[in-house]
Amino acid sequence: MRTSLNEIRTVERYVDGSLSSLEQLSFERQLKNDPALRLNVFLQRKVYTLLKHYRRKNLKESARAVHDKLFDDPVNAGFKDSILRIFKS
């Protein structure tokens, strides 16, 4: 695997806390002396944050699909009516 990909794998293990204590010490030493690596760690954390939001977006999409199914399918008309009645009172 390319060196840069190995770095990404190490950053991932650093971020999720799965480096051994020895590896972690050595990585933190590297971090201190290497601003480019610091930026890469920052960016990779950002990637994980974005992935979390992407996942949330997809889950919300599933919730919306279930809602539409319950509100548009005549089979579930009883459910729909009971909800609409709540907001009519």
Partner 1 sequence: MVEIVEHPPVEAQIALDFEALYKRTFPVVAKLVHKWNGSLDDAKDVFHDGLVLLYEKMQDGVQFQTSREAYLVGICKNLWVKKFSKDVAKVALDEIERSIEIPGDFYPTVNTQHLLTMLMSTGKRCLALLEAMYFKGKSVERVAQDLGYSGEHSASVQKYKCLEKMREQIRNKNIAYEDFLE
Binding residues (CB under 8 A) for partner 1: these are 1, 4-5, 8-9, 12, 15-17, 39-40, 42-44, 46-60, 62-67, 69-70, 79, 82-84, 86-87, 89
* Shortest reach from residue 25's CB to partner 1, in Å: 20
* Shortest reach from residue 30's CB to partner 1, in Å: 17
9-18 — which CB contacts under 8 Å span 24+ positions? 11/40, 11/41, 11/44, 12/44, 14/41, 15/41, 15/44, 15/45, 15/48
Q: Which is nearer to partner 1, 20 or 62 (CB)?
A: 62
The answer to whether 15 and 45 have CB atoms below 8 angstroms apart is yes
